[in-house]
């Protein structure tokens, strides 16, 4: 099962890169592509962790989760402080 999980993690990582490139090319905004990339890399990290919970993979998963949280939180704060132009 560990081999299958590692293969799935690799597939999801590749999907993350492709998705991020597609989003970046269609929107021309890295702020739209980065959350997509990190969400799918988080999924890949969880699968790698399930395959083999070594300290290296634990550190990798923790780093991805922390980076994702910082980015999502940062983007939310940025969106709230930007002046509204719709009313």
Partner 1 sequence: MTAEGFDPEEALQSTVGLLVTVVEACGAVVIVVGALWAFIRFVGVGLRRRDASAFVPVRLVLGRFLALGLEFQLASDVLRTAVAPSWEQLGQLAAVAAIRTALNYFLSREIAEERRQVAEDEQDARDRATQPDQTRPGTAPT
Site residues, partner 1 (CB under 8 A): 1, 5, 8, 12, 15-16, 18-19, 22-23, 25-29, 31-32, 35-36, 39-40, 42-44, 46-47, 49-50, 53-55, 58, 61-62, 65, 68-69, 72, 76
Residue with tokens 């699968």: 47
Minimal distance in Å, beta carbon 83 to partner 1? 16
Minimal distance in Å, beta carbon 76 to partner 1? 7
Closer CB to partner 1, 18 or 74, in the complex: 18
CB 38 within 8 A of CB 71: yes
d(CA 87, CA 78): 19
Minimal distance in Å, beta carbon 84 to partner 1? 11
d(CA 30, CA 23): 8
Residues 6+ apart with CB under 8 A from 42: 64, 65, 68
């Amino acid at each position: 099962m560990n081999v299958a999980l590692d293969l799935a993690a690799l597939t999801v990582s590749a999907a993350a890169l492709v998705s991020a490139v597609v989003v970046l090319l269609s929107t021309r905004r890295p702020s739209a592509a980065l959350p997509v990339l990190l969400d799918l890399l988080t999924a890949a990290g969880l699968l790698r962790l399930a395959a083999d919970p070594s300290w290296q993979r634990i550190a990798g998963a923790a780093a991805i989760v922390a980076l994702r949280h910082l980015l999502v939180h940062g983007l939310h704060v940025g969106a709230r402080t930007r002046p509204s132009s719709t009313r």
